[in-house]
């Protein structure tokens, strides 16, 4: 039989702590979850926690997964089926999780060297925030790089064609394609800004705070460039 991690509660006034015991005795099938991370699999028995499985909150499960994987909470994401589990205060019953369910852990376990090199004071949670910030910026930059050249070329071709007047209800296809492309790129950049806006960096996370400001500035710069191109196109619009 595979090893089972029994889950115990030991709550302190400040931070809840969890203890695990590896054993090979029979476990309660009504209180277990299967956790998968990369090529590792764990079975967790919540039988001794004093709660029904559905009453366990996501935050508590995430803390358990942090202990098992070494991934900082700020960079740890759980999925059940196709759904990403987001609300830390919600009980597992909100996702329809039943005994024996399989939960997948996503995230990167940082090395000690990575943390010390990249953070203010060696806090792995700051490292997780930095990865999240960098990931959002890189996603935006890569998306713009993929579409920008063609968009700019299509804009120049359209403007050089001296487009005929049209009514808003009869926008020609070349013009509509430009509008759709601008909308698509802008949406990705606005989503990136929303992600960055949702990153809360405590005052002591000096490196993360700097990274966040830089990422916002770079993303906004890309958005301004795309909006500038779109302004040129709109200026060429003629009404009959």
38-67 pLDDT per residue, tens: 888 888 887 655 678 888 899 999 998 998
Tell me what pLDDT residue 88 has: 92
Given a cut of 90, is residue 14 above it in pLDDT? no
DSSP 48-80: GGSS-GGGSBHHHHHHHHHHHH---GGG-EEEE
Mean pLDDT of 217-235: 96
Q: Does domain 116-236 have CATH number 1.20.58.120?
A: yes
Tell me what pLDDT residue 24 has: 43
Tell me what pLDDT residue 136 has: 95
Tell me what pLDDT residue 167 has: 84
Cα–Cα dist 137/196, whole Å: 9
Contact present, 75 and 131 (Cβ < 8 Å): yes
Mean pLDDT of 100-121: 93
Mean pLDDT score of the chain: 86
Mean pLDDT of 110-133: 93
pTM value is 0.73
30 or 200: which leads in pLDDT: 200
Tens digits of per-residue pLDDT, 69-85? 999 998 899 999 989 99
Mean pLDDT of 190-211: 95
Tell me what pLDDT residue 203 has: 95
Given a cut of 60, is residue 25 above it in pLDDT? no
The fold adopted by the segment(s) 4-109 is: Ubiquitin-like (UB roll) (3.10.20)
Contact present, 58 and 87 (Cβ < 8 Å): yes
Comparing 133-142, 146-155, 200-209, 229-238, which segment has the lowest mean pLDDT? Answer: 229-238
| Pairing assessment for the beta strands 83-85 and 77-80 based on DSSP bridges | antiparallel
The CA R_g of the chain, rounded to the nearest whole Å, is 25
Domain boundaries, the chain: 4-109, 116-236
Comparing 18-22, 139-143, 204-208, 226-230, which segment has the lowest mean pLDDT? Answer: 18-22
């Amino acid at each position: 039989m595979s090893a089972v991690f029994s889950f115990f509660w030991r709550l302190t006034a400040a931070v809840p702590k969890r203890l695990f015991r590896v054993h090979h005795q029979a476990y309660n099938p009504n209180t277990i979850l299967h956790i998968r991370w990369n090529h590792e699999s764990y079975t967790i028995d919540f039988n001794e926690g004093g709660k029904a499985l559905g009453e366990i909150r996501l935050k508590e499960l995430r803390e358990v997964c942090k202990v098992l994987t070494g991934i900082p909470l700020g960079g740890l994401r759980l999925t059940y089926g196709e759904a990403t589990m987001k609300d830390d205060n919600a009980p597992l019953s909100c996702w329809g999780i039943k005994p024996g369910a399989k939960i997948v852990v996503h995230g990167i376990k940082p090395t000690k060297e990575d943390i010390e090199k990249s953070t203010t004071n060696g806090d792995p949670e700051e490292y997780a925030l930095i990865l999240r910030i960098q990931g959002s910026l890189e996603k935006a930059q890569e998306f713009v790089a993929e579409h920008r050249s063609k968009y700019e070329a299509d804009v120049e071709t359209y403007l050089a064609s001296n487009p005929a007047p049209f009514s808003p209800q009869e926008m020609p296809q070349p013009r509509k394609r430009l509008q759709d492309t601008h909308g698509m790129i802008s949406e990705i950049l606005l989503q990136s800004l929303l992600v960055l806006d949702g990153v809360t960096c405590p005052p002591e996370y000096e490196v993360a705070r700097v990274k966040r400001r830089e990422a916002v500035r770079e993303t906004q710069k890309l958005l301004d460039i795309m909006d500038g191109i779109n302004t040129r196109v709109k200026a060429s619009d003629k009404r009959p």
